[in-house]
Amino acid sequence: MQYSAYDGAQHRIERLKKAVRIATAMCGLSEDQAKLLITRVHDHKGQLILSWTCMPTEQQRLAFGVAWEQCSEPAANVSHVLDDGKDFDTSAIKF
């Protein structure tokens, strides 16, 4: 799983890792299982963008919203995309 931020700041990378830990725990996933599902986690000015290998479940999508709120950002600022770049929702930012 690759972590990145628009400005490369380490505190943003740590925040992404925290969000992933929270969400995966909520879903009952191990770190290894999460790595099989998510290839990239990116922070673009407070927008959490997750690249998935397959369509995430509703539980997974909701868990990342809750986790992002725990990182002081709105749940609405979470976008999900497939590795092929296909958006799951229209608010997704391409990278």
pLDDT digits (tens, 9 = 90+) for 25-84: 999 999 899 999 999 999 999 999 999 999 999 999 999 999 999 999 999 999 999 887
Instruction: Count how many domains the chain has.
Output: 1
Is 95 among the domain residues? Answer: no
CA separation for the pair 61, 66 (Å, rounded) = 9
Residue 60: C-alpha distances to residues 7, 8, 56, 67 (Å)? 27, 26, 6, 10
Is 61 among the domain residues? Answer: yes
Is 52 among the domain residues? Answer: yes
* Domain coverage including residue 38: 2-82
Whether the predicted pLDDT of 87 surpasses 70: no
- Map tokens 């509703």 to a residue: 58
Q: Residue 84 is encoded by which pair of tokens?
A: 């092929």
What residues have CB less than 8 Å from 94, skipping those under 6 apart?
81, 85, 87
Angle at CA 83, nearest 5°, toward 89 and 75?
40
